[in-house]
Structure 1
Amino acid sequence: MGLSAGADGLARCAWGADPQEYRRYHDQEWGRPVRGDDALFERLTLEAFQSGLSWLTILRKREAFRAAFDGFRIAKVAGYGPADVTRLLADAGIVRNRAKIEAAVANARAALDLPAGLADLLWSYAPPPRAGRPASAADVPARTPESTALARALKRHGFRFVGPTTAYALMQATGMVDDHVDGCHVPPPLPVR
């Protein structure tokens, strides 16, 4: 069914029961609507850094990422130059991947250039709310037509490391879709449009 009970006995999506970092992220953040440009930039950046790695690795390094990337303030990161890339490559607290670091800087610049802002662009691709939740984890897609369209739009605007799977993970993480499985104790989010 895709559910698992954590140490507290609450039914959660199977991936969110343990360890503690997953439980906290699942219960308090994943699937909750996020609207601020900087907050969405953080999620987009972390999803890109996660590519090819465990999400647990990213969660455990999240505070170091926030410190290294100036709280993911788009205007600040957009101003990064070669010295900042070198600084980030030397920071053992984050994932030190040159292509991903350079993509984060390029993505901040692209976000800064969006006329209506990052939130408006991202949320314009959110699918209509569906009736009910997925019955099991097997019913949760890795990509959708909306995430494919979002990835294309982001790339047209100069974003990098934003394929359809990353775009869908971003949609899940930021409440554009509710992929908590049926029976999960986390209540459905209030609609945001």
Structure 2
Amino acid sequence: MLREYYDIEWGMPVRDERGLFERLSLEAFQSGLSWSTILRKRPAFRIAFAEFEPDAVAAFTEKDVERLLGDAGIVRNRAKILATIANAAATIQLREDVGLVDFIWSFQPSATPVPGPGEPVITQSAESLALSKALRKRGFVFVGPTTMYALMEAIGMVDAHPVGSHRRGSSGVWTGRV
């Protein structure tokens, strides 16, 4: 499951609001947990959170929160559930300005890391810190700089695949720009 995710999905560009909101939400839920836990539960998360449609999630009530807290198929953390609902509302608000996709992608760095095999893994950057601060100003929560760096990797904004990996450059975002 993890191998398939990393070989097919991780690091590929995500440039639609629903897809980006889903990734943002799942990265927040992953905080403090293994990614494999989140990936195994992703189908249940999609059902529980209305396929991550921001308008639907923003309309969740306390009754929905209680329903989610009783759903063994997802991570039952009240703070993360409330953060997802708050982030849906913030996503809707952001539409009035630039929109979630353009806002997040505006923090793409001018260069991507060039990690060699076995080198230490970068967990945050100046851009992920700036993105974190900017999202917080816009009402988003659970968007710390490490979580935002993980998002940037997951959506292809940075290419964290090691040099020599068969996946390095596969997103097309950094072709010729490394």
2:99 alignment partner in structure 1: 117
TM (norm. structure 2) is: 0.92
2:2 counterpart letter in structure 1: Y
Q: Give every structure 1 segment of 4 or more consecutive aligned residues whose post-TM-superposition deviation is greater than 4 Å.
A: none
Q: RMSD of the alignment, in Å?
A: 1.3
Match of 1:44 among 19, 24, 32: 24
**Runs (5+) with no aligned partner, structure 1:** 1-20
The question of 1:126 aligning with 2:104 is answered: no
- Equivalent residue runs for 1:95-114 within 5 Å: 95-114=75-94
Worse-superposed segment, 76-85 or 92-101:
76-85
Q: Identity across aligned pairs (percent)?
A: 55
Offset of residue 116 of structure 1? 1.6
**Runs (5+) with no aligned partner, structure 2:** none
Per-residue Cα deviation, 1:61-85 (whole angstroms, up to 9, x for no partner): 0000001001001111011111111
The question of 1:143 aligning with 2:124 is answered: yes
Match of 1:183 among 149, 153, 164: 164
Match of 1:33 among 13, 21, 34: 13
Tell me, yes or no, if the aligned pair for 2:132 and 2:144 is still in contact at 8 Å: yes
Per-residue Cα deviation, 1:142-170 (whole angstroms, up to 9, x for no partner): 10000000000010001110100000000
2:65 alignment partner in structure 1: 85
Q: State how many pairs are aligned.
A: 171
TM (norm. structure 1) is: 0.85
Aligned equivalents of 2:114 and 2:2: distance in 1? 20
